[in-house]
């Protein structure tokens, strides 16, 4: 665009462009100390943030475990199959996908004077504590009983001619 102005008119050209560049040059000279100050501020902020990370909160404490006691017996001597929960599943989806991973099976001979007893530790017994016993396909009725206690307090009992289920939660 400079070349479009005829030479005789160039002397009347506006001085605005020259004035703008002069002020920019002055501003550029003043900008150098500002850059140094900005760099120092950023470095100081980095030290402050890094110092804050060193004082992070400790992880939350593990959940409180409760003593869960399962007891199974029968009014007549009999071999029973027992399923029980000995660990808390991480979530309902994992449990639903494969409940037998979290519910081992035991075979036991029980009777009026012979009980099957197991103590386990669970974080959430209201959700996961469970024991069930069955006589299987037998036609006999040994009258099976179960008792579920949490931290020494009996919270569920059940009895049935061929099986029993003890749980805090409704299944």
Give the three-class secondary structure for 161: coil
Q: Is the pLDDT of residue 133 over 80?
A: yes
Q: Within 13 Å of residue 171, how many CA atoms lie on the same side as its CB?
A: 15
Average pLDDT, the chain: 83
Distance CA 100, CA 86 (A): 11
Give the three-class secondary structure for 135: coil
Helix or strand (DSSP H, E) at 95: helix 92-97
Give percent above pLDDT 70 in the chain: 68
Average pLDDT for 12-40: 59
Kindly report the pTM of this predicted structure. Answer: 0.65
Between 116 and 10, where is the model more confident? 116
Kindly indicate whether the domain formed by 66-167 is annotated with CATH number 2.60.40: yes
Residue recorded with tokens 């004082």:
55
pLDDT 10s digits, 105-121: 999 999 999 999 999 99
Note the pLDDT of residue 131. 97
Between 96 and 45, where is the model more confident? 96
Q: Is the pLDDT of residue 137 over 60?
A: yes
Segment among 12-26, 89-103, 127-141 with least mean pLDDT: 12-26
């Amino acid at each position: 665009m400079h070349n479009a102005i005829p030479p005789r008119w160039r002397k009347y050209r506006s001085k605005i462009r020259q004035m703008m560049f002069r002020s920019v040059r002055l501003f550029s000279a003043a900008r150098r100390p500002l850059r140094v100050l900005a760099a120092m501020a950023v470095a100081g902020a980095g030290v402050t943030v890094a110092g804050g990370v060193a004082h992070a909160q400790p992880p939350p404490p593990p959940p409180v475990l409760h003593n869960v006691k399962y007891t199974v017996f029968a009014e007549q001597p009999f071999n029973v199959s027992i399923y029980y929960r000995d660990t808390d599943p991480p979530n309902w989806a994992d449990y639903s996908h494969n409940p037998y991973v979290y519910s081992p099976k035991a075979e036991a001979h029980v009777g009026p004077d012979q009980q099957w007893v197991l103590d386990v530790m669970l974080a959430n017994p209201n959700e996961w504590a469970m024991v069930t016993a069955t006589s299987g396909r037998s036609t006999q009725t040994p009258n099976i009983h179960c008792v579920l206690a949490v931290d020494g307090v009996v919270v569920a009992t059940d009895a049935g001619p061929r099986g029993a289920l003890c749980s805090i939660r409704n299944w």
